[in-house]
């Protein structure tokens, strides 16, 4: 399926699903669904640099936070409308990804991974010390009155927004995957030295991959301040985002856009269920265990199982 | 400038550096010499803290003494962990991406298990010397910093001696340089790596006891030490333990000065900031090979 | 099956159905009151005591027939003293558990994050010990049970500065320090106002991040400015850290203390013991005022019996009387308006005076107490870490207000160290 047709199909399917789900009565559905959709974006974004290019990013929270805090800043300064927040947040996060990439992507992949860890802590320290966006006390975004565009509530509105953003993320991922860029990234992932020798512009592609990946992560964070109303550093920089962004693509499968989607939907839904029924810390333990198990025993994730099953059926 | 403030900042930095060296020596071995990116290392440090806490609450013995006695346990744990890592990743040549994710998962699991058992409350061990301060003029030497520092330096120097003077130690140095040559000499490099890795985890356990004497501990603080440990090793130069000591001193004093003159809220950025700068401009570090 | 057995079975069956229906009906008719509460984390010792006290209230009310003829059920989740959990907890309470009323958890830092949610739904929000939370939100259905008074931030430190100015010669410099969080911010803002009014020079004014563990650099930096007074606003973990660091560094100053949360409850007093000597802090009840506030003493007897069983704060001088009183206000408002309508409840509470275990309670327009009742106390003469030191009068000198005063401020702070 060509990329254009895929994009159109994706949006049509998304709109249909969103429209249908808006009829759901249970208010908690939207809270839970928002959480899962944020992870869909994060997992898809991570996979662009992780699965397609082979560079592990441990600093997902840093870019997620850039998106969220750009929104806080714009809200405090200009009471900017949401669309401005989204565009700016994505752009700033993308630029940050580019900058970090430029500093570290010329080194071995391992150093890039450590650098991203370092970046997360540096960002956290920076935010904690920046009074204008609330510092350690946190920032409040108070949504009074009716939701825009006639939605039943702000929650419904933000749910629709994040669903649309998730679709955008998936389309972008697929676009990269099935293109010349994607093939170049795959070459880098398999053997960077050989790719370089074959004439692939490795640094440029890596930078593009990093910028896109980090930009999308920022995009995931831009609606957070509106949805939860209270934004504070420790929850934004939570390890949960870092681990899930890696676990979901690994469990779902890293070779295509389908993997992160499957991983995010499955793991995200499981986490929401556990959170409402049992203790929420158990949540994290399950995620960690699943990550370790899949990474050790099923490195190609669920997609890998599916492929193996298909291959066995052919025989 | 206030001389008492300055001198105390320097002293605190140096004392902390001793402790930081203990944190980093494990990474220096596993990452610097064995090329295993064990980012779960701080998780084992925190585990060491809680084990020391538990035994201290049960028997009342000094936590540092406990950790030294229990270090064989951590040694065995390290061996088991390396065994899994080797079988699942190194042998298949996939250690970079998946190995990282594996250790990340391990770090995460240790943190969450500790939270589930002990909760998120800060825990501190009060030893006989916790509140004692030796004063030399305007400068104070709190024993809660001095004792771990001294024991830590002894430990690090001991490891360095071991690596330089014993056959096994030199085999470890050799395994990072030329595995084939090692095999030809009749030594199984995998076994050497396994034991070296185990040694690094054993140092983590002891470092954990230092930590809980110095400051209150809770399961999530492990992550703050990842950057610290890697910053020290990268700054000092991978594979050089002397470099690790120098890196620890630089970092300890830098953090102490930042905390004293700019406020503690900037201190975490120091280690990670230094790391980022080193990676960007001199990835080989000061004494790296 | 013979007839008698069949009869017993059918009777048992009928009983089971009735009980089952009864339970279902009763549960459907329960009045659910939801909250987050610090059951783990830095404020856990206080939070657990507060929850026990609230449970005592629920038991008392249910024994008398409940509210509006319905039984009261408390649904409280652990917020881990982590503000990040609050939006999730209150969303769950309102959307999944479908509670009828909400009250807050304990502590400024844990109350503020819930405000946007309760404001969006127009809920009446009774809160437990938050300092000046409503200044930012200006919500007309917010109520605070802590007796700080109508200008909470300013009145909070009045006792400290009042006592300070009684020193001779008068102090001229002050250091302000606290964690970077809601409560210390409010407290320090009030302290700054006092400093300005009294012409004190602020020689140090910095905050530290809430997860700081090494306080010695901070205390040393403060010492380098040679302040006459050191005003600290902190939560239990940093209170302990700062007091210990002050001891380790050997802080030399005339007066140290101010807004230290933590020293008011038993576990803390016994943990720090003699290290507390000389510290000046706020308290709401100590054995020295038992005679002047007798209703609190009566409640404490009931509380302490239950606390001993559940192994929480055995003294209960701080939160328990007030968390009980908070629920009394809610209960009396429900009975008074004969409804669960949030608007009616809020209006009723604004307009009425309530009779509670902490005395008569009346609220000002901003939801705070119409008249404050913070005491400023200096600890002294603590010889050991034993609980018995704190169960009887002797270790607390009440410096302010005049109606409770028992003695004068002793300075300097470092004299207590020798």
pLDDT digits (tens, 9 = 90+) for C241-276: 899 899 888 899 999 999 999 888 888 888 888 899
Average pLDDT, chain C: 87
Q: What is the pTM of this model?
A: 0.84
Report the candidate in C131, C77, C133 with the shortest Cα–Cα distance to residue C105: C77
CATH code, C153-283+380-417: 3.40.50.2300
- The span from the CA of C397 to the CA of C288, in Å, is 8
Mutate to test the interface with C, among A32, A128, A229 (most CBs of C within 10 A): A229
**pLDDT bucket at B95, cuts 50 / 70 / 90:** low
**pLDDT bucket at C340, cuts 50 / 70 / 90:** very high
Pair of tokens at residue C155: 């009145």
Which of B135-144, B194-203, B244-253 bottoms out in mean pLDDT, i.e. has the lowest?
B135-144
What are the backbone angles phi and psi of residue C370, rounded to the nearest 5°?
Answer: -65, -35
Over residues A107-118, mean pLDDT = 78
Average pLDDT, chain B: 85
Which candidate from A27, A137, A138 shows the least CB-CB separation from C95?
A27
How does C13-42 read in b/e, with b if 16+ C-beta sit within 10 Å? Answer: eeeeeeeeeeeeeeeeebbbbbbbbbbbbb
**pLDDT bucket at B92, cuts 50 / 70 / 90:** low
Q: Which residues contact C206 (CB under 8 A, 6 or more apart)?
A: B263, C177, C218, C221
| Partner-chain contact C116 A143, CB within 8 Å | yes
pLDDT at A283 exceeding the cut of 90 = no
- The span from the CA of B282 to the CA of A273, in Å, is 47
Which candidate from A142, A154, A235 shows the least CB-CB separation from C84?
A235
Query: Over the stretch B158-172, which tens digit does the pLDDT of each residue have?
Result: 998 888 888 888 888
H or E element in which residue C232 lies: strand C229-234
pLDDT at A26 exceeding the cut of 70 = yes
| Partner-chain contact B121 C247, CB within 8 Å | no
Q: Which residues contact C118 (CB under 8 A, 6 or more apart)?
A: C90, C102, C125, C139, C141
C-alpha dist (Å) from residue B92 to A253, B87, B99:
18, 8, 11
Count of C-beta atoms within a 10 Å radius of residue C107: 30
**pLDDT bucket at A164, cuts 50 / 70 / 90:** very high
pLDDT at B265 exceeding the cut of 80 = no
Which of A61-65, B220-224, C64-68, C385-389 bottoms out in mean pLDDT, i.e. has the lowest?
B220-224
Instruction: State the Rg of chain A over Cα.
Output: 19
Q: Are B6 and B242 in contact (CB under 8 A)?
A: no
Count of C-beta atoms within a 10 Å radius of residue B96: 18
Strands B139-142 and C255-260: unpaired
Query: Over the stretch A200-251, which tens digit does the pLDDT of each residue have?
Result: 888 899 999 999 999 999 999 999 999 988 888 888 888 788 888 998 998 9
Q: What is the pLDDT of residue A151?
A: 79
Q: Are C342 and C119 in contact (CB under 8 A)?
A: no
Over residues B176-190, mean pLDDT = 77
3-state secondary structure of C172: coil
More confident call, B120 vs A53:
A53
Q: Are C274 and C267 in contact (CB under 8 A)?
A: no
Q: Are C105 and C128 in contact (CB under 8 A)?
A: yes
pLDDT at B208 exceeding the cut of 60 = yes
Q: Which residues contact B221 (CB under 8 A, 6 or more apart)?
A: B46, C211, C213
Residues 101-130 of A with CB under 8 A from C: 128
Q: For chain C, what are the domain ranges? A: 3-147+294-362, 153-283+380-417
Pair of tokens at residue B164: 């330089």
Report the candidate in A218, A197, A69, A174 with the shortest Cα–Cα distance to residue A132: A69
CATH code, C3-147+294-362: 3.40.50.2300
Using the Cβ of A277 and the Cβ atoms of chain C, whether some distance falls under 8 Å is answered with no
- The span from the CA of B243 to the CA of B154, in Å, is 16
- Spell out which residues of chain B touch residue C211, defining contact as CB-CB under 8 Å: 221
Which of A257-266, B133-142, C52-61 bottoms out in mean pLDDT, i.e. has the lowest?
B133-142
More confident call, C311 vs B208:
B208
**pLDDT bucket at C145, cuts 50 / 70 / 90:** very high
pLDDT at C111 exceeding the cut of 70 = yes
Over residues B47-53, mean pLDDT = 93
Q: What is the pLDDT of residue C46?
A: 87
| Partner-chain contact A230 C120, CB within 8 Å | no
Over residues C164-193, mean pLDDT = 91
Pair of tokens at residue C260: 């230290």
- Spell out which residues of chain A touch residue B106, defining contact as CB-CB under 8 Å: 292
Q: Which chains touch B (3 or more CB pairs under 8 A)?
A: A, C
Q: What is the pLDDT of residue C190?
A: 93
Q: Are A231 and C113 in contact (CB under 8 A)?
A: no
Count of C-beta atoms within a 10 Å radius of residue B2: 16
Report the candidate in B170, B194, B210, B241 with the shortest Cα–Cα distance to residue B27: B241
Q: What is the pLDDT of residue B152?
A: 92
Which of A61-70, A273-282, C154-163 bottoms out in mean pLDDT, i.e. has the lowest?
A273-282
Greatest alpha-carbon pair distance for chain B in Å reads 62
Using the Cβ of A141 and the Cβ atoms of chain C, whether some distance falls under 8 Å is answered with yes
What chain B holds in terms of domains, given with CATH numbers, is 3-281 (1.10.3470)
Q: Are A216 and A41 in contact (CB under 8 A)?
A: yes
Which of A190-199, B6-15, C252-261 bottoms out in mean pLDDT, i.e. has the lowest?
A190-199
pLDDT at C106 exceeding the cut of 90 = yes
Count residue pairs from A and B with Cβ separation < 8 A.
Answer: 122
Using the Cβ of A24 and the Cβ atoms of chain C, whether some distance falls under 8 Å is answered with no
Q: What is the 3-state secondary structure (H, E, C) of chain B?
A: CCHHHHHHHHHHHHHHHHHHHHHHHHHHHHHHHCCCCCCCHHHHHHHHHHHHHHHHHHHCCCHHHHHHHHHHHHHHHHHHHHHHHHHHHHCCCCHHHHHHHHHHHHHHHHHHHHHHHHCCCCECCCCCCCCCEEEECCEEEEHHHHHHHHHHHHHHHHHHHHHHHCHHHHHHHHHHHCHHHHHHCCCCHHHHHHHHHHHHHHHHHHHHHHHHHHCCECHHHHHHHHHHHHHHHHHHCCCCHHHHHHHHHHHHHHHHHHHHHCCHHHHHHHHHHHHHHHHHHCCCCCCCC
- The span from the CA of C103 to the CA of C127, in Å, is 6
- The span from the CA of A168 to the CA of A171, in Å, is 5
Using the Cβ of C97 and the Cβ atoms of chain A, whether some distance falls under 8 Å is answered with no
3-state secondary structure of C313: coil
Q: What is the pLDDT of residue A266?
A: 92
Q: What is the pLDDT of residue B221?
A: 82
**pLDDT bucket at C280, cuts 50 / 70 / 90:** very high
Count of C-beta atoms within a 10 Å radius of residue B33: 23
Which candidate from A128, A140, A143 shows the least CB-CB separation from C180?
A128
Over residues B255-277, mean pLDDT = 81
Cβ burial of B173 (10 Å; 0-12, 13-18, 19+) is: middle
The DSSP string of A176-227 is HHTSHHHHHHHHHHH-HHHHHHTT--HHHHHHHHHHHHHHHHHHHHTTHHHH
Average pLDDT, chain A: 87
- The span from the CA of B260 to the CA of B266, in Å, is 10
pLDDT at C363 exceeding the cut of 90 = yes
3-state secondary structure of C174: strand
- The span from the CA of B272 to the CA of C3, in Å, is 83
Specify the DSSP class assigned to residue A51: I
Give the HSE-up count for residue B45: Cα atoms under 13 Å, Cβ half-sphere. 31
- The span from the CA of B50 to the CA of A232, in Å, is 29
Q: Measured between alpha carbons, how far apart are the two ends of chain C, in Å?
A: 88
Q: Which chains touch A (3 or more CB pairs under 8 A)?
A: B, C
Over residues B203-208, mean pLDDT = 94
Q: Which chains touch C (3 or more CB pairs under 8 A)?
A: A, B
**pLDDT bucket at B248, cuts 50 / 70 / 90:** very high
Q: Which residue has the tokens 């192994």?
A: C311
Percent over 90 (pLDDT), chain A: 32
pLDDT at A162 exceeding the cut of 80 = yes
pLDDT at C77 exceeding the cut of 50 = yes
The answer to whether C3-147+294-362 and C153-283+380-417 have equal CATH topology is yes
Q: What is the pLDDT of residue C1?
A: 47
Using the Cβ of A142 and the Cβ atoms of chain C, whether some distance falls under 8 Å is answered with yes
pLDDT at B1 exceeding the cut of 70 = no
Which candidate from A28, A140, A143 shows the least CB-CB separation from C96?
A28
- The span from the CA of C378 to the CA of C399, in Å, is 7
Q: What is the pLDDT of residue C41?
A: 78
3-state secondary structure of C223: helix
Which of A50-59, B86-95, B141-150, B276-285 bottoms out in mean pLDDT, i.e. has the lowest?
B86-95
Q: Please tell me the distance in Å from B86's CA to the nearest CA on chain A.
A: 11
Report the candidate in B89, B101, B84 with the shortest Cα–Cα distance to residue A247: B101
ipTM of the prediction: 0.79
Using the Cβ of A118 and the Cβ atoms of chain B, whether some distance falls under 8 Å is answered with yes
Q: Which residue has the tokens 């088991």?
A: B80
C-alpha dist (Å) from residue C252 to C170, C230, C278, C377:
16, 10, 12, 20
Q: What is the pLDDT of residue A152?
A: 77
C-alpha dist (Å) from residue C196 to A298, C172, C191, C202, C226:
66, 11, 9, 9, 19
Report the candidate in A43, A64, A46 with the shortest Cα–Cα distance to residue A265: A43
The DSSP string of C342-394 is HHHHHHHHHH-EEEETTEEEEB-TTSSBSS---EEEEE----SS-THHHHSTT
Query: Over the stretch C1-28, which tens digit does the pLDDT of each residue have?
Result: 455 555 555 555 555 554 445 455 555 6
CB-based contacts of A6-11 (< 8 A; 24+ apart in sequence): A6/A171, A6/A174, A7/A171, A7/A174, A7/A175, A10/A167, A10/A170, A10/A171, A10/A174, A11/A167, A11/A171
Question: Helix and strand tally (H, E) in chain A?
Answer: 15, 2
Report the candidate in A57, A5, A6, A1 with the shortest Cα–Cα distance to residue A173: A6
Using the Cβ of C111 and the Cβ atoms of chain A, whether some distance falls under 8 Å is answered with no
Q: Measured between alpha carbons, how far apart are the two ends of chain A, in Å?
A: 26
Q: Which residues contact B200 (CB under 8 A, 6 or more apart)?
A: B25, B26, B27, B29, B30, B38, B41, B78
Percent over 70 (pLDDT), chain C: 93
- The span from the CA of A140 to the CA of A158, in Å, is 16
Count of all residues that appear for chain B in the document? 289
With CA atoms as reference, the chain A residue closest to C120 would be: A144
């Amino acid at each position: 399926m060509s990329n254009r047709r895929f994009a159109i199909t994706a949006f049509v399917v998304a709109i249909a699903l969103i429209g249908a789900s808006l009829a759901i009565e249970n208010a908690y559905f939207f809270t839970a669904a928002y959480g899962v959709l944020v992870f869909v974006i994060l997992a898809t974004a991570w996979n662009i640099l992780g699965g397609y290019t082979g560079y592990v990013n441990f600093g997902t929270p840093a870019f997620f936070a850039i998106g969220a805090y750009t929104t806080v800043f714009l809200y405090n300064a200009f009471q900017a409308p949401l669309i401005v927040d989204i565009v700016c947040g994505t752009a700033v996060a993308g630029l940050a990804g580019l900058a970090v990439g430029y500093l570290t992507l010329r080194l071995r992949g391992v150093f890039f991974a450590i650098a991203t860890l370092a970046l997360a802590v540096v960002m956290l320290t920076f935010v904690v010390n920046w009074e204008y966006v609330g510092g350690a006390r946190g920032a409040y975004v108070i949504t009074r009155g009716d939701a825009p565009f006639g939605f039943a509530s702000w929650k419904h509105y933000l749910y629709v927004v994040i669903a649309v953003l998730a679709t955008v993320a998936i389309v972008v991922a697929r676009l990269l995957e099935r293109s010349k860029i994607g093939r170049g990234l795959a070459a880098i992932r398999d053997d960077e030295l050989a790719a370089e020798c074959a004439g692939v512009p490795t640094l440029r592609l890596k930078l593009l991959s990093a910028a896109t990946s980090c930009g999308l992560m920022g995009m995931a964070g831009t609606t957070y301040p509106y949805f939860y109303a209270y934004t504070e550093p420790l929850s934004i920089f939570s390890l949960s985002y870092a681990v899930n962004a890696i676990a979901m693509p690994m469990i779902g499968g890293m070779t295509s856009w389908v993997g992160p989607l499957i991983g995010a939907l499955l793991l995200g839904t499981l986490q929401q269920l556990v959170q409402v029924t049992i203790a929420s810390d158990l949540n994290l333990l399950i995620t960690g265990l699943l990550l370790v198990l899949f990474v050790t025993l099923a490195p190609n994730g669920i997609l890998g199982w599916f492929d193996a099953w298909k291959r066995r059926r052919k025989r | 400038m206030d001389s008492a403030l300055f001198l105390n900042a320097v002293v605190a930095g140096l004392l902390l550096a001793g402790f930081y060296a203990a944190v980093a020596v494990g990474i220096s071995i596993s990452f610097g010499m064995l090329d295993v990116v064990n980012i779960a290392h701080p998780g084992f440090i925190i585990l060491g803290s809680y084990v020391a806490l538990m035994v201290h609450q049960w028997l009342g013995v000094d936590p540092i003494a406990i950790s030294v006695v229990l270090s064989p346990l951590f040694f065995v744990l390290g061996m088991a962990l390396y065994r899994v890592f080797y079988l699942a990743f190194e042998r298949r040549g996939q250690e970079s991406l998946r190995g990282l994710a594996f250790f990340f998962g391990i770090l995460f699991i240790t943190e969450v298990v500790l939270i589930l058992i002990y909760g998120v409350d800060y825990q501190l061990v009060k030893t006989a010397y916790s509140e004692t301060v030796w004063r030399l003029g305007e400068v104070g030497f709190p024993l809660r910093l001095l004792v771990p520092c001294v024991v830590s330096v002894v430990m690090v120097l001991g490891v360095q001696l071991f690596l330089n003077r014993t056959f096994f130690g030199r085999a470890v140095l050799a395994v990072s340089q030329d595995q084939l040559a090692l095999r030809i000499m009749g030594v199984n490099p995998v076994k050497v790596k396994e034991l070296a890795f185990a040694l690094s985890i054993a140092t983590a356990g002891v470092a954990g006891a230092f930590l809980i004497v110095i400051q209150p501990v809770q399961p999530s603080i492990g992550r703050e030490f990842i950057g610290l440990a890697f910053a020290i090793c990268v700054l000092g130069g991978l594979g050089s333990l002397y470099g690790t000591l120098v890196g620890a001193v630089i970092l300890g004093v830098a953090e102490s000065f930042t905390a004293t003159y700019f406020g503690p809220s900037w201190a975490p950025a120091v280690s990670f900031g230094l790391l980022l700068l080193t990676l960007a401009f001199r990835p080989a570090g000061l004494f790296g090979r | 099956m013979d007839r008698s057995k069949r009869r017993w079975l059918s009777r048992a069956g009928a009983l089971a159905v009735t009980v089952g229906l009864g339970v279902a009906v009763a549960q459907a008719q329960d009045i659910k009151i939801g909250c987050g509460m610090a059951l783990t984390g830095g404020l856990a010792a206080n939070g657990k005591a507060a929850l026990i006290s609230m449970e005592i209230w629920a038991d008392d009310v249910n024994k008398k027939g409940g509210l509006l003829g319905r039984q009261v059920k408390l649904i409280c989740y652990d917020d881990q003293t982590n503000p990040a959990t609050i939006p999730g907890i209150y969303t769950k309470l309102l959307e999944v558990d479908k509670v009828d009323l909400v009250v807050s958890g304990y502590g400024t830092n844990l109350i503020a994050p819930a405000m946007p949610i309760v404001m969006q739904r127009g809920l009446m929000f009774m809160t437990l010990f938050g300092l000046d939370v409503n200044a930012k939100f200006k919500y007309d259905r917010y109520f605070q049970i802590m007796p700080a008074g109508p200008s909470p931030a300013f009145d909070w430190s009045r006792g400290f500065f009042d006592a300070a100015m009684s020193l001779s010669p008068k102090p001229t410099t002050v250091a302000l320090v606290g964690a970077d969080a809601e409560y210390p911010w409010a407290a320090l803002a009030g302290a700054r106002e006092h400093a300005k009014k009294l012409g004190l020079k602020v020689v140090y004014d910095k905050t530290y991040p809430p997860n700081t563990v090494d306080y010695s650099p901070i205390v040393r930096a403060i010492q380098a400015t040679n302040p006459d007074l050191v005003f600290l606003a902190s939560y239990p973990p940093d209170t302990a850290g700062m007091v210990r660091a002050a001891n380790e560094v050997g802080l030399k100053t005339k007066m140290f203390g101010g807004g230290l949360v933590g020293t008011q409850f038993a576990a803390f007093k016994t943990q720090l013991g003699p290290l507390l000597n000389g510290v000046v802090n706020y308290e709401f009840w100590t054995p020295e005022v038992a005679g002047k506030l007798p209703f609190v003493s009566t409640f404490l007897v009931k509380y302490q019996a239950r606390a001993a069983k559940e192994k929480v704060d055995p003294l209960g001088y701080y939160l328990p009387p007030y968390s009980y009183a908070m629920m009394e206000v809610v209960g009396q408002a429900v009975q008074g308006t004969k409804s669960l309508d949030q608007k009616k409840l809020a209006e009723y509470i604004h307009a009425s005076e309530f009779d509670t275990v902490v005395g008569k309670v009346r609220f000002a327009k901003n939801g705070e107490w119409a008249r404050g009742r913070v005491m400023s106390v200096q600890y002294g003469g603590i010889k050991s870490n034993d609980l018995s030191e704190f169960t009887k009068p002797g270790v607390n000198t009440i410096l302010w207000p005049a109606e409770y005063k028992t003695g004068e401020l002793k300075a300097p702070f470092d004299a207590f160290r020798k």
